[in-house]
């Protein structure tokens, strides 16, 4: 029997509520399959931990996480702790420390999910965003000079290394080739006259190794418009850290809402564990009410199964989510329903069981 060791970081606000449902789904799969099992280890890190201990995670936190097969994270951030601290000292520390340089965010309007765009067929919203996740605008390089004085100056530098830029673009070409899809690069070479001119150049260079893959390149502002007006143009998409962050929230809103958007932080070489999380935050406005939508977290559990080599179960979880949406009877309030978080998790499980026992 194979045992997958998974580190759980439920985090803040609604994080623990959604992670609980994802864990239930994964345990159900393990029970039904009987060839593998999960060993969960929970870490209490996050903003509450910070208020007690003055740190978001233990000093040797990365060392503690290193030996796990994967990390399953809820959300971090809560009023009272500055967002740049909660983000940098936990989430970004893990993404960077474990070189999870690929952020995979599917933007697919599942059957039954509420459509947001007029005049667009459901099948036309089916993109896979591959966001650079280790440097770029989130490199944390800069300075804050003459703080509070009249001549105050703030610098926030984008860092685009050749290694970092090439590897993410090559990864995206590999995915596009494997899936028989086009690859679109999104940048801003007109205004960002160093970083994005470089990005475009590397995209051109790497594309020569993939003559069989159709390619396109857009400026980020035009891409934002086209994602709404003509989303079918986008199949596999590669973009920088900040642009990817913003565009995938836009993507989430046209693909059923933030309660359905999942993301995987991947270290492709598997030197370090990869991390799976819903892309939403800790939603303090609805935390503790048992009404948060767990489907994004459950979708990220499906990404985890893909990563662990059980694509069959990854696909089944997605199918289970889709069945719940099509049925439309067990939905949380953000999707117009009146069900609880727990009900929605159970509804996914209810659909999974017969699919697996068949
Ligand atoms: P948010 O994603 O937490 O919430 C935005 C809005 O969407 C809220 O009205 C919330 O109720 C709703 N919402 C989000 N997820 C939902 C779900 N699954 N079901 C139903 N409704 C949902 O973003 P916000 O408010 O900007 O940030 C709150 C905190 O979360 C901040 O501290 C922020 O730094 C942190 N954050 C953490 C992230 C992470 O851990 N990956 C990502 C984004 C924000
Ligand atoms: Mg974001």
Note the pLDDT tens digit of each residue in 90-148.
999 999 999 999 999 999 999 999 988 988 999 999 999 999 999 999 999 999 999 99
Question: Average pLDDT for residues 12-33, to the nearest whole number?
Answer: 97
Residue 280 Cα to ligand 2 midpoint, Å, equals 7
Pair (280, 243) in one structural domain: no
pTM, whole model, 2 decimals? 0.95
Measure the CA–CA gap between 234 and 241, rounded to whole angstroms.
18
How many angstroms separate the alpha carbon of residue 20 from the centre of ligand 1? 17
- CATH number (domain holding residue 191): 3.40.718.10
In this structure, which residue's CA is closest to atom 13 in ligand 1? Answer: 283
Is 208 strand, coil or helix?
A: coil
Assign 30 a pLDDT band (cuts: 50, 70, 90).
Answer: very high
Looking at residue 358, what is its pLDDT?
A: 66
Of 105, 246, 265, 280, best ligand 1 pocket probe by most atoms within 8 Å of the beta carbon: 280
- What is the structure's pLDDT at 356? 78
Is position 48 within any domain?
yes
pLDDT of the residue at 301: 98
Domain interval for residue 356 = 1-100+258-358
Torsion 290-295-300-304 (CA) sign:
positive
Residue nearest to ligand 1 atom 25, measured at CA: 283
Asked if 335 and 263 sit in the same domain, the reply is yes
What is the model's pLDDT at position 207?
98
> Residues 234, 272: one domain?
no
Q: Say whether both 191 and 292 belong to one domain.
A: no
- Residue 107 inside a domain? The answer is no
Q: Are 109 and 255 in contact (CB under 8 A)?
A: yes
pLDDT above 70 covers a percentage of the chain that reads: 100
What is the predicted pLDDT for the residue at 77? 95
Cα(68)–Cα(60) distance, integer angstroms: 14
Q: How many domains does the structure of the chain reveal?
A: 2
Domain boundary, last residue among 235, 255, 275:
255
Same domain? For 23 and 87 the reply is: yes
Which of 255, 282, 304 is the last residue before a domain boundary?
255
**Do 65 and 182 share a domain, yes or no?**
no
* Final residue in a domain of this structure, among 222, 255, 288: 255
Pairwise CA distance, residues 310 & 104, whole Å: 17
Cα–Cα distance for residue pair 261/243, rounded to 1 Å = 16
Question: For residue 181, is it within any domain?
Answer: yes
Same domain, 91 and 137: no
Residue 222 CB neighbour total at 10 angstroms: 11
CB-proximal residues (5 Å) to ion ligand 2: 245
Among the ranges 74-88, 291-305, 341-355, which has the highest mean pLDDT value? 291-305
195 with 249, same domain: the answer is yes
Q: Looking at the structure, do residues 235 and 153 belong to the same domain, yes or no?
A: yes
Please check whether residue 134 lies inside any domain of the structure. yes
Considering only CA atoms, which residue is closest to atom 15 of ligand 1? 280
109, part of any domain: no
Same-domain check for residues 265 and 243: no
Mean pLDDT on 263-283: 97
pLDDT at 354 over 90: no
Residue 328 sits in the same domain as residue 242: no
Query: Nearest ligand, CA of residue 15?
Result: 1
Q: What are the strands of the beta sheet with 36-42, ordered from one edge?
A: 36-42, 2-11, 70-75, 274-278, 262-266, 102-108, 126-132, 236-239, 183-187, 215-219
pLDDT given for residue 89 in this prediction: 95
Q: Residue 110 falls within a domain, yes or no? A: no
Average pLDDT, the chain: 96
**Has residue 355 got a pLDDT over 90?**
no
Q: Is residue 190 part of a domain?
A: yes
Question: Residues enclosing ligand 1, CB less than 6 A?
Answer: 75-78, 83, 87, 91, 258-259, 277, 280-286, 292-293, 296, 334
Q: By alpha-carbon position, which residue is closest to atom 27 of ligand 1?
A: 281
């Amino acid at each position: 029997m194979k045992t997958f060791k998974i580190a759980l970081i439920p985090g803040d606000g609604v994080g623990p509520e959604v992670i609980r449902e994802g864990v239930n789904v994964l345990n159900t799969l393990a029970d039904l399959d009987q060839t593998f099992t999960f060993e969960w280890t929970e870490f209490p890190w996050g903003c509450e931990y910070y208020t007690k201990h003055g740190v978001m995670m233990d000093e040797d936190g990365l060392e503690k996480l290193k030996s796990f097969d994967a990390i399953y994270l809820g959300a971090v951030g809560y009023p009272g702790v500055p967002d740049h601290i909660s983000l940098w000292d936990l989430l970004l520390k893990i993404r960077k420390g474990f070189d999870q340089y690929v952020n995979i965010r599917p933007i697919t309007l599942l059957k039954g999910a509420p459509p947001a765009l007029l005049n667009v067929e459901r099948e036309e919203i089916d993109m896979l965003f591959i966001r650079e996740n280790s440097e770029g605008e989130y490199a944390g390089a800069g300075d804050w000079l003459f703080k509070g004085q009249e001549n105050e100056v703030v610098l926030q530098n984008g860092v685009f290394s050749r290694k970092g830029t090439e590897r993410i673009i090559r990864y995206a070409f590999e995915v596009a080739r494997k899936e028989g899809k086009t690859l679109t690069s999104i940048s801003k070479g007109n205004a960002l006259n160093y970083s994005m001119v470089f990005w475009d150049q590397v995209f051109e260079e790497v594309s020569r190794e993939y003559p069989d893959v159709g390619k396109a390149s857009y400026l980020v502002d035009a891409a934002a418009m086209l994602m709404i007006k003509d989303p079918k143009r986008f199949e596999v998409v590669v973009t920088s850290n900040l642009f990817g962050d913003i565009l995938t929230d836009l993507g989430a809103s046209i693909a059923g809402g933030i309660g359905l958007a999942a993301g995987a932080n991947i270290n492709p070489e598997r030197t370090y564990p990869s991390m799976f999380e819903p892309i939403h935050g800790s939603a303090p406005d609805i935390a503790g009410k048992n009404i948060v939508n767990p489907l994004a977290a459950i979708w990220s559990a499906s990404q985890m199964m893909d990563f662990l080599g059980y694509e069959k179960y990854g696909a089944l979880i997605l199918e289970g989510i889709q069945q719940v949406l099509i049925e439309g009877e067990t939905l949380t309030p953000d999707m117009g329903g009146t069900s609880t978080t727990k009900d929605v998790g159970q509804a996914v499980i209810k659909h999974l069981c017969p699919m697996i026992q068949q």
